[in-house]
């Protein structure tokens, strides 16, 4: 695990400076405090910072091919490296280390770029091939590890984090105003967008190749929802058992201490159970709570109960952070603004875990592959709701829903919030309906809030929908999450917040074999009537305590809605006041003022909208400067 950086000048006579590479690598030293390495070959330069996990002594990077014509810097883990090492040995490829990075280098040497089909892992890596004069930049299938790049007519500069790219000469931080509506719609930026001009994300399952002055980007893997399994439930459970055990077993490989995040929910409890089946003893577990005042967001008691039953070495804290000073630091670490409060929780629990382990197993991805989000129930609700007369569903009920109060920190008001979301979106076609659930603002609201905005500019990411072979509505919306909010929101914050504390987070549920398996299961294996996670619950019911399976779902996030009304009230006023927004000339300050007033009075819950804007304004100060105007003429 590490952070990678590099540069490629289109002018072959313009050499890359090692000093510039060192400056970039220094910007992400937190990703790899154990070691550094550099490679310069005329107009190409690669560098890395290493967090030593496997082959602590022999895995230094860059690693070179046996004929010394190829160099690689690798961020992540190749989980099946032992199996592939045996394959390389059989082909007489000479290896000098026990590292997974050398295995990737060997596979490329033997199979070329088609070696990607053999890799099981999480990664962002770059290979410079002197023989073919090509530079390859690759991101893993699911997008667990980030890869960013800057491109102009002179150069390509890449890194694991944007802050490193901004260290390179000639790269400046400029706001991409055209990306703002997309951010305001989703609360994050789907790939390839970022809010920086000319800085993009390499999408999951894509590879970028440069040869000469030509840059090409291609997809190398696609999940399929066709060819559904016809096996019965018992047979599917046996297959699920085999894949899950293999995924966890592979991700337990490390030469350093490892542990697990534990919330007490299905996903994290399931992983801890599988760790015990693989004889990890003791299992170090970590959880965080915010006290009884924020009970909707406090899972520490659930985690402690499960940890006691499984006799783990459990570590837990009730967090009382100085949130007003913490948030700007975390936004800087993220590189991107975000409307997901779980980045705070992930950072705080990573800080706790970093005191005793370097590798953490996380349950991230369980909702997306097993069908755990309550919003997936709309596919069942629609079957009943459609029977109501249109005068009720399109007229009376939406008007009544607008009057429903909402508060994420109250069980009743939070469920009313979800009902309200369903009622107000239910008259649209299924995919547009779902986009409404996951959007901060509707198109007309974005048009009203953003000045000089072209109506309809955000789109609905239709290219991915058209390319996918999903035909069932549930498959379509889960595919939407798998390709967008999962990599560029949840996995992005998981990577950034764990690496900020020099912790490697592994996500067994996102082993691509498990993703492919669950995509081919009939949809009722994921959402069966009003029962979420059907197959997963059937698998776990004989393995873990019933109180975990029967527990009401809690969102993994911080109590931001409550903090906005109390701890963050002054910060919200400072960053989102009418004078500041008026000077920027990007947003209508009246809409923001109205949203804050409604939230403070609990008339409506605008947590995500306020967090999206607060995060954005902090990002502007951190990356563009507090005195800089983010407007672009």
Segment 349-355 mean pLDDT: 94
Q: Three-state DSSP class for 71?
A: strand
Average pLDDT, rounded, for the chain: 89
Q: What pLDDT was estimated at residue 224?
A: 96
Segment 504-531 mean pLDDT: 96
What is the 3-class SS of 204-263, one letter each residue? CCEEEEEECCEEEEEECCCCCCCCCCCCCHHHHHHHHHHHHHHHHHHHCCCCCCEEEECC
Q: How confident is the model at residue 427 (pLDDT cuts 50, 70, 90)?
A: low
The set of residues, in sequence order, having a beta carbon less than 8 Å from that of 434 and lying 6+ positions away, is 375, 378, 473, 476, 477, 480
Domain 2-219 and domain 233-371+477-550, same fold? Reply is: no
Rounded distance between C-alpha atoms, residue 619 and residue 179, angstroms: 14
By the 8 A CB rule, do 559 and 294 touch? yes
More confident residue, 28 or 388: 28
Q: Three-state DSSP class for 138?
A: strand
Segment 37-59 mean pLDDT: 79
Segment 387-391 mean pLDDT: 60
Q: How confident is the model at residue 301 (pLDDT cuts 50, 70, 90)?
A: confident
The set of residues, in sequence order, having a beta carbon less than 8 Å from that of 573 and lying 6+ positions away, is none
For the segment(s) 233-371+477-550, the CATH number from 3.40.50.620, 3.30.450.90, 3.40.50.720, 1.10.4000.10 is 3.40.50.620
Asked if residue 465 has pLDDT above 80, the reply is no
Q: Name the pTM for this structure.
A: 0.92
Query: What are residue 365's DSSP bridge partners?
Result: none
Question: How confident is the model over 145-200, as pLDDT tens digits?
Answer: 999 999 999 999 999 999 999 999 999 999 999 999 999 999 999 999 999 999 99
Q: How confident is the model at residue 390 (pLDDT cuts 50, 70, 90)?
A: low
Segment 544-549 mean pLDDT: 94
* Dihedral-angle region of residue 227 (phi above 0 means left; psi in -120 to 50 means alpha; beta otherwise): left
By the 8 A CB rule, do 503 and 360 touch? yes
Q: Three-state DSSP class for 591?
A: helix
Rounded distance between C-alpha atoms, residue 518 and residue 535, angstroms: 9
Asked if residue 541 has pLDDT above 50, the reply is yes
Q: What sign results for the dihedral spanned by CA atoms 532, 534, 540, 544?
A: positive
Q: How confident is the model at residue 272 (pLDDT cuts 50, 70, 90)?
A: very high
| Residue 626, token pair as written in the block | 């507090």
Segment 508-518 mean pLDDT: 98
Question: How confident is the model over 202-234, as pLDDT tens digits?
Answer: 999 999 999 999 999 999 999 999 999 999 999
> Quick one: CATH architecture of 2-219?
4-Layer Sandwich (3.60)
Q: How confident is the model at residue 632 (pLDDT cuts 50, 70, 90)?
A: very low
Question: With pLDDT > 70 as the criterion, what percentage of the chain qualifies?
Answer: 85
Question: How confident is the model over 314-345, as pLDDT tens digits?
Answer: 999 887 778 899 999 999 999 999 999 999 99
Asked if residue 60 has pLDDT above 60, the reply is yes
| Residue 286, token pair as written in the block | 């970590």
Segment 256-278 mean pLDDT: 94
Domain boundaries, the chain: 2-219, 233-371+477-550
Rounded distance between C-alpha atoms, residue 16 and residue 6, angstroms: 9
* Dihedral-angle region of residue 76 (phi above 0 means left; psi in -120 to 50 means alpha; beta otherwise): left
The set of residues, in sequence order, having a beta carbon less than 8 Å from that of 615 and lying 6+ positions away, is 327, 331, 337, 338, 339
Question: 405 exposed, middle or buried (CB, 10 Å; 0-12, 13-18, 19+)?
Answer: middle
By the 8 A CB rule, do 107 and 88 touch? yes
Q: What pLDDT was estimated at residue 633?
A: 36
Radius of gyration of the chain (CA): 24
């Amino acid at each position: 695990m590490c952070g990678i950086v590099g540069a490629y000048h289109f002018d072959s006579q313009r050499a890359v400076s090692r000093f510039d590479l060192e400056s970039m690598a220094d910007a992400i030293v937190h990703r790899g405090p154990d070691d550094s390495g550099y490679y310069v070959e005329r107009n190409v330069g690669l560098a890395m910072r290493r967090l030593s996990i496997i082959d602590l002594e022999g895995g230094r990077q860059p690693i070179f091919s046996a004929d010394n014509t190829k160099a690689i810097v690798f961020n992540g883990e190749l989980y099946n490296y032992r199996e592939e090492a045996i394959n390389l040995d059989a082909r007489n490829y000479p290896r000098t280390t026990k590292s997974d990075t050398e295995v990737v280098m060997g596979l490329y040497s033997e199979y070329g770029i088609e070696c990607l089909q053999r890799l099981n892992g999480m990664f962002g890596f770059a290979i410079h091939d002197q023989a073919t004069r090509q530079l390859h930049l690759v991101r893993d299938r699911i997008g667990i590890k980030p890869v960013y790049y800057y491109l102009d007519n002179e150069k390509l500069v890449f890194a694991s984090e944007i802050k490193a790219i901004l260290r390179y000469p000639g790269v400046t931080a400029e706001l991409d105003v055209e990306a703002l509506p997309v951010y305001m719609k989703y609360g994050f930026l789907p790939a390839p967008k970022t809010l920086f001009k000319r800085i993009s994300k390499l999408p999951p399952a894509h590879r970028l190749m440069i040869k000469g002055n030509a840059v090409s980007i291609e997809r190398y893997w696609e999940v399929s929802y066709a060819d559904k399994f016809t096996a019965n439930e018992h047979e599917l459970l046996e297959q699920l058992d085999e894949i899950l055990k293999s995924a966890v077993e592979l991700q337990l490989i490390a030469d350093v201490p490892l542990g697990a995040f534990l919330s007490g929910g299905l996903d994290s409890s399931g992983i801890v159970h599988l760790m015990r089946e693989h004889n990890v003893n003791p299992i170090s577990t970590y959880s965080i709570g915010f006290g009884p005042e924020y009970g909707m967001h406090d899972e520490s008691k659930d985690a402690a109960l499960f940890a006691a039953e499984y006799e783990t070495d459990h570590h837990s804290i009730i967090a009382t952070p100085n949130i007003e000073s913490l948030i700007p630091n975390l936004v800087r670490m993220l590189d991107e603004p975000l409307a997901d409060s779980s980045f705070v929780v992930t950072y705080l629990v990573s800080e706790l875990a970093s005191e005793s382990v370097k590798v953490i197993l996380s349950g991230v991805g369980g909702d997306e592959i097993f069908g755990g989000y309550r919003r997936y129930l709309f596919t069942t609700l629609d079957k009943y709701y459609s029977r109501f007369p249109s005068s009720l569903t399109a007229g009376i009920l939406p008007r009544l829903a607008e009057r429903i109060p909402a508060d994420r920190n109250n069980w009743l008001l939070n469920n009313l919030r979800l009902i309200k979301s369903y009622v107000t979106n239910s008259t649209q076609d299924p995919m547009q309906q779902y986009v409404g659930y996951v959007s901060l603002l509707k198109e007309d609201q974005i048009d009203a809030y953003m000045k000089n905005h072209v109506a309809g500019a955000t789109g609905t990411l239709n290219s991915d929908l058209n390319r996918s072979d999903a035909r069932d509505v549930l498959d379509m919306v889960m595919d939407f999450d798998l390709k967008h909010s999962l990599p560029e929101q949840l996995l992005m914050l998981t990577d950034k917040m764990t690496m900020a504390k020099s912790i490697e987070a592994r996500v067994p549920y996102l082993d691509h074999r498990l993703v492919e398996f669950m995509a081919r299961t009939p949809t009722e294996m994921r959402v069966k009537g009003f029962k979420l996670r059907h197959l997963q619950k059937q698998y776990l019911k004989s393995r873990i305590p019933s109180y975990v399976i029967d527990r009401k779902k809690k969102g993994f996030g911080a109590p931001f809605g409550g903090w906005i009304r109390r701890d963050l009230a002054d910060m919200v006023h400072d960053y989102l006041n009418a004078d500041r927004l008026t000077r920027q000339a990007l947003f209508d300050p009246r809409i923001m003022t109205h949203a804050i007033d409604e939230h403070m009075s609990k008339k409506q819950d605008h947590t995500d909208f306020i967090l999206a804007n607060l995060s954005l304004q902090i990002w502007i100060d951190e990356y563009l400067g507090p005195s800089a105007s983010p407007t672009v003429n």
